[in-house]
Chains A and B, each alone.
Chain A
Amino acid sequence: MMHQWVGTVIVMAYLGLASLASASDPQRFEVAAWVDHFDFATVFDSEKAEGLSQILDHVRETGATTILWRNCGGSTMRYQSRIEAHHHGSQLDKRRIAENRPVYGWVRYGETQPDIIAEVVRLCRQRGLRPGIHWPFEETHWAGWTIGQFNLEHPQYWGQTAQGQPWWGRVSLAYPAVIRHKLALVDELVERGVEVLFLDFSRTGGWGPGYEYVEPVVSAYREKFGEAPPTDPKDLRWCRHVSEYVTRYLRQLHDHLKASGRPVELAVGIPGIAPLGDEPLVRCGADWRRWVEERLVDTLVINHVTWDRKAPLESTQAAYREVLCTVAGRCRVWCPVQQYNYSTYGIPAYQEATGKKPEELAEALTRLAHQAGAHGISLECVDYNNYSPAVRDALRRLTSGACRQVR
């Protein structure tokens, strides 16, 4: 018993020291853990400060140096937002079909005291972790109860299909009022002291260029090309046109963060980024090469790469190198050690293809990222024990030892 207690103290002290070192060391190889506290709701009391603390301590066992805390589900916020709804608010708006699962459907993050984001920032700093936000590029998390108040109140900005059907799941970035709203949400996060803002283009909540047939975007297309836009939303010229609006938003976001006077790192996550192709453009209007070229982003997060099942690790390594070569030092790059497997390219898929244990794969993927010259790894997402104790140990040992510094 005494032995276990001493062991725990040593691990905690070690974690604390490692984390404190990371916060002050720019060449530290980052371990960015994505944290969706909603997914911890049945384990820890995610509506209380004590529960938030327990979540962070669990996540920290991965060797995390940066926490990317989820601020929302769709466009319902998980803190005391002054300008957006939180998901329990869906119970009071008859337009939303409320989430009703026990615990999950009844948490009230918008009413939690103290404010969740402010508290997490405080707890991160206390633990020497960089506090960041994981903000999906979505306004509905594939469910009606995640539609926010801004969308509900502004049908005139809703997305629209080529067939003329409006959709409340997304308001178009073509409207200045929409951008202003998003930047106001950014202000709420910056006010709370977040140091990293991570926009995740994997989570689009069902949005894509197919919902951008709104009047300003269609008119601009006609003006530019002298013809009506194609009705096929995967048409590359159309997708590139839609991406202009996403890029414009990123420029404004970049400038807005710079103007805030606080050093907030802007990271973007791109799914299916390599082998290089047009998938991100077609899928979510993400012209990431342009963003890198214009130096709009500080960090490029590889959500996943499309590796070859016949040569999983070799092809992963080639894909990482391809991205790093394209970036050519113009921003930082984090590579995935992804436990989630919705992409079918996460650790479970590697396991199937290689027969290796998860901890072996976590170690191998971390080494690949490190050797390729990446600036860190990203863990999507650290839920309760989904990165097993052995994986957490392996990651922590490696990133505080052989892979502690960026190459």
Chain B
Amino acid sequence: MQSSGWRGRRRETWARYPCVLGWIVGLLGLANVAVPALGAELVQLTTGPGNDTEAAWSPDGQRIVFQTDRDGTLDLHILDLATKARTPLAAGLGHAAFPAWSPDGKWVVYSYACFTKTALEGQEDGYNVFLIPATGGPPRRLTQGRYRDYCPAFLADGKTIWFSSDRGVKDKSNAVSLHAVSVDGGEPKVVLRREGSDRAAVQASFSPDGRSFAYGTISGFRDNWRIVLARVDRPADGYVLTEAQGCFYGPRWSPVGTVLACTGFRLGDPGWGVWLFDAQTGRRARLDSGQGQSRSPAWSPDGRRLVLENNRSGTYKLYCLQTPELPEAPPASTSPGDRSQVLHYCFAKRTDTAIADSSPRSNHGHIRGTPIWQEGAIRFGPPGASIAIPNAKGFDFGNGAFAVRAVVKAPEQPQFAMIAMGEYPGNRLGWQLYIADDGRAWFNSRTTELAYRGARSDEPLPTRRSVTLTGIRDAVGNARLYVDGSLQQAAASGALCVYGPPVQVRIGTQYNGTAPLLGWLYDIAVYSRELSAEEARGDSLARFWAEQPSARPKKP
């Protein structure tokens, strides 16, 4: 059985790592601009055999709890930063993993399993959530059953614990959702449901005010881990902060600010590293840790230091460092006066019969019917409402690239809704950006034989906040879709249709007035070129926070 308490006390010496100094911070804004290196001192915290991982700093800043496999299975140990003493907290048979502190520092919550039978002989429990006094004592079981309950975290109230779990999955899929359980136990409740194979929400971490949280997500076995921001009271309407061109997981929100630390990798990196993201602006930095891989950062309570694991010595050991400041850098966006822009409507101000185009092409639109205007957006609800662009100029893309970017809020009830489309001679559905009746967004172009080639969003669109959709047909005929700058997995190739002058460009409905957009359209722009991922992201992060001012993270 699992033992507990302060038995087997062993002391360890802090080992100041000699070759400090290579802490270079490769700072990257959204436009991937490298900035000068910042020095930082790396200090080794643990030594000895095995791997010391998944550290968490106590709220009083005096202790670090972590998991270690130095004795074979995973145990929890506590490192006292003043005395340098390392003490087992939960050790013995079975695996104890993913520790986290209660806000008052009196408890540690973690995941634990101990198997004494083979799978065929039968196992009642899998990995479940346990609570143990931080000073040692008998652990208390909070969940039970043959599930994988892991990565628990306390909410700010100290009374509720969120954790990741495969509870409640349908059709034997291996999805992981976020669940909540009271510190008093009881039946866990689902907080954020993920459905389908290899779809997961893992490791919630809360903002200092407790209103927002971040977590890692993955959407299928071909996807990469990404970081999502969400409100605690609206967990399903998350914003994907990182792109699938990298792999980012295990976010930890700074206790005092807007910056997240997580483990990440992007092409060109030497391996796993610690990344910092400003949840408010999207600015980012990779901490270059020199030798070895660095993972699983966790903040000190004052937000000035990080503890992390690094394997430069051959096994993972804990280290800490002073956290560098993220420098100010404006996010990239499309520049005004972009000659490739062939249409740009902003619906912030109501107009009656015409909508002015701010692109160089002056493709002013005619408003048909009586659409609804509200809160800086337009809705094509009543039958007959749409925007037509007669003699649209610049939409003859030939076989070249083009992009359509729209800021929309999806309808509450999923239904087929056309955002924008272009009709061409002999090619009535030349290109379309729309929401399907399952709530997912699509962008499609055509082959030279006019066969459909579409890209689809990974998930149904959120309905309680706006999203920025960008459909791109690139120069070699790939059709791609971005949601808030995040490339979606389902893409298509062979979209090499040649576009001449259009018959019509329509916004808000299908070519014949059907499939009205019953959600809200805030802004739409069309370009006769590809847009970068950063351009596709646009100001979506700022919009995300602006639409929920009560949850907006604040700097200290």
In the complex, A390 has a CB within 8 A of chain B: no
Note all chain A residues with C-beta closer than 8 A to B23: none
A165 to B244, CA, bound (A): 7
Give chain A interface residues in 36-50, CB to chain B under 8 Å.
41-42, 44-48
* Given the contacts A97-B174, A164-B245, A232-B493, A91 and B198 also touching, CB distance less than 8 Å: no
Give Cα A295–Cα B199 distance, bound, in whole angstroms.
44
Main secondary structure of the interface of A (DSSP, over half): loop
Q: Does B10 contact A (CB under 8 A)?
A: no
B250 touching A163, Cβ below 8 Å: no
**How would residues 137 to 160 of chain A score, 1 for a CB under 8 Å from any chain B CB and 0 otherwise?**
000101111000000011110001
Chain B, residue nearest A74 (CB): B221
Contact B476–A231 (Cβ < 8 Å): yes
Q: How far is the CA of A98 from the CA of B169 in the complex (A)?
A: 12
Among B119, B121, B147, B166, the most chain A Cβ lie within 10 Å of the Cβ of B119
Taken residue by residue from 92 to 130, chain A's Cβ proximity to chain B (1 for < 8 Å, 0 otherwise) reads as 101101111111111110000000000000000000000
Alpha-carbon gap, A48 to B118, bound state (A) = 8
Q: CB distance B267 to A166 under 8 Å? A: yes
Tell me which residues across on chain B come within 8 A of A47, comparing CB atoms.
118-120
Residue numbers in B under 8 Å from A108 (CB-CB): 115, 118-119
Q: Is A169 an interface residue (CB 8 A)?
A: yes
Q: Contact at A92–B121, with CB atoms within 8 Å?
A: no
Please pick, from A41, A100, A160, the residue contacting B166 in the complex, using a CB distance under 8 A. Answer: A100
State the interface size on chain B (CB cutoff 8 A): 56
Chain A residues near B392 (CB-CB < 8 A): none
Rounded to whole angstroms, the CA-CA distance of A169 and B198 in the bound complex is 12
* Interface segment out of the listed B268-276, B363-371, B404-412, B511-519: B268-276
- List, in ascending order, chain A residues with CB within 8 A of B480's CB: 163
Nearest A residue to B266 via CB reads A166
Question: Contact: A102 with B146, CB < 8 Å?
Answer: yes
B146: chain A residues at CB < 8 Å are 100, 102, 106
Encode A12-42 as 1/0 by CB contact (under 8 A) with B.
0000000000000000000000000000011
In the complex, whether B123 has a CB less than 8 A from a CB of chain A is yes
Q: Does A358 have its Cβ within 8 Å of any Cβ on chain B?
A: no
Query: Complex: how many Å from CA A99 to CA B115?
Result: 16
The docked-state distance in angstroms from the alpha carbon of A150 to that of B174 is 22
Contact of B119 with A103 in the complex, beta carbons under 8 Å: yes
Q: Across the interface, do A94 and B98 meet the contact criterion of CB distance under 8 Å?
A: yes
A167 within 8 A of B: yes
Complex partner residue of B197 from A46, A107, A143, A231, CB under 8 angstroms: A143
CA of A142 to CA of B476, assembled, Å: 29
A94 touches B202 (CB 8 A): yes
A46 to B118, CA, bound (A): 9
Q: How far is it, in angstroms, between the C-alpha of A103 and the C-alpha of B126 when the chains are bound?
A: 11
* Assembly CA distance A206 to B198 (angstroms): 14
- What's the minimum C-beta distance from B68 to chain A, rounded to whole angstroms? 12
Determine if B293 and A94 form an interchain contact, defined as CB atoms under 8 angstroms apart: no
Given known contacts A42-B120, A155-B265, A98 and B95 CB-to-CB distance under 8 angstroms = no
Q: Are A100 and B148 touching (Cβ within 8 A)?
A: yes
A231 contacts which chain B residues (CB < 8 A)?
Answer: 476, 478, 493
- A168 near B478 with CB under 8 A, answer no
Q: How far is the CB of B73 from chain A (nearest CB, A)?
A: 10
Whether A145 pairs with B222 at a CB distance below 8 angstroms is no
Is the Cβ of B267 less than 8 Å from the Cβ of A164? yes
Are A206 and B98 within 8 A (Cβ)? no
Q: Which residues of B contact A154 (CB under 8 A)?
A: 271
Chain A residues, Cβ within 8 Å of B216: 94
Find out whether the CB atom of A167 lies under 8 angstroms from the CB atom of B224. Answer: yes
User: Which of A45, A105, A163, A206 is close to B120, meaning CB atoms less than 8 Å apart?
Assistant: A45
A85 to B324, CA, bound (A): 35
Known: A156-B269, A231-B476. A165 touches B221 (CB 8 A): no
Nearest CB of A to B444, in Å: 18
Closest to B200 in A: A97
A155 touches B245 (CB 8 A): no
B156 contacts the other chain (CB 8 A)? no
* Interface of chain B residues 174 through 212 with chain A (CB within 8 A): 174-176, 197-200, 202-203
Give chain B residues whose Cβ lies under 8 Å from the Cβ of A163: 478, 480, 487, 491
Q: Which chain A positions have C-beta within 8 A of B250?
A: 94
- CB pair A98–B166 under 8 Å, yes or no, is yes
**A232→B495 CA distance, assembly (Å):** 12
Give A217 Cβ to nearest chain B Cβ, in Å. 14
Range of interface residues on chain A?
Answer: 35 or more
CB neighbours (8 Å) of A169 from chain B are 221-222
Interchain CB contact under 8 A, B176 and A97: yes
What's the least CB distance linking B296 to chain A, in Å?
9
Q: How far, in angstroms, from A153 to B126 measured CA to CA in the complex?
A: 25
Q: Is B420 in the interface zone, CB < 8 Å from A? A: no
Q: A106 and B245: CB pair below 8 A? A: no
Indicate if the CB atoms of B174 and A155 lie closer than 8 Å: no
When chains A and B are docked, how far (Å) is the Cα of A403 from the Cα of B67? 59
Instruction: Verify A101–B123 contact, CB threshold 8 A.
Output: no
Chain A, residue nearest B224 (CB): A166
**Closest CB-CB distance, A289 to chain B, in whole Å?**
29
Interface flag for B346 (CB, 8 Å): no
State which of B120, B150, B244 has its C-beta within 8 Å of the C-beta of A94: B150
Contact B491 A156 (CB under 8 A): no
Q: How far is the CA of A231 from the CA of B169 in the complex (A)?
A: 37
| B172 in the interface (beta carbon within 8 A) | yes
Flag if A99 contacts B478 (CB, 8 Å).
Answer: no
Instruction: For A42, list chain B residues within 8 Å (CB).
Output: 120
- CB-CB nearest in chain A for B216: A94
Contact A156 B270 (CB under 8 A): yes
Closest to A142 in B: B221
Contacts A94-B151, A97-B200; A103 near B120 (Cβ below 8 A)? yes
B113 near A97 with CB under 8 A, answer no
Interface 0/1 of A233-274, CB less than 8 Å to B: 000000000000000000000000000000000000000000
Residues of B within 8 A of A164 (CB): 245, 267
Q: Is B483 on the interface with A (CB-CB < 8 A)? A: no
A107 touches B174 (CB 8 A): no
Instruction: Tell whether, in the assembled complex, residue A143 and residue B198 are in contact, meaning their CB atoms are under 8 Å apart.
Output: yes
- Whether a CB of chain A sits under 8 angstroms from the CB of B246 is yes
- Contact check, B119 vs A144: say whether CB atoms are below 8 A apart: no
User: A94 contacts which chain B residues (CB < 8 A)?
Assistant: 98, 150-151, 164, 202-203, 216, 249-250
Chain A residues within an 8 Å CB radius of B225: 95
Q: How far is the CA of A143 from the CA of B221 in the complex (A)?
A: 6
* 7 shortest interchain CB distances as A-B pairs: A155-B265, A47-B118, A106-B119, A144-B198, A100-B166, A107-B119, A45-B120
List 20 interface pairs A-B (beta carbons < 8 Å), by A numbering: A91-B95, A91-B113, A91-B148, A94-B150, A94-B216, A94-B249, A99-B174, A100-B148, A101-B172, A104-B119, A105-B174, A107-B119, A144-B221, A153-B271, A155-B247, A156-B269, A163-B491, A165-B487, A166-B247, A169-B222
Other A-B pairs beyond A106-B126, A163-B478, A206-B222, 16, CB < 8 Å? A44-B120, A91-B127, A92-B95, A94-B249, A95-B225, A95-B249, A97-B176, A97-B200, A97-B218, A106-B115, A144-B218, A155-B271, A163-B487, A164-B267, A165-B245, A167-B224
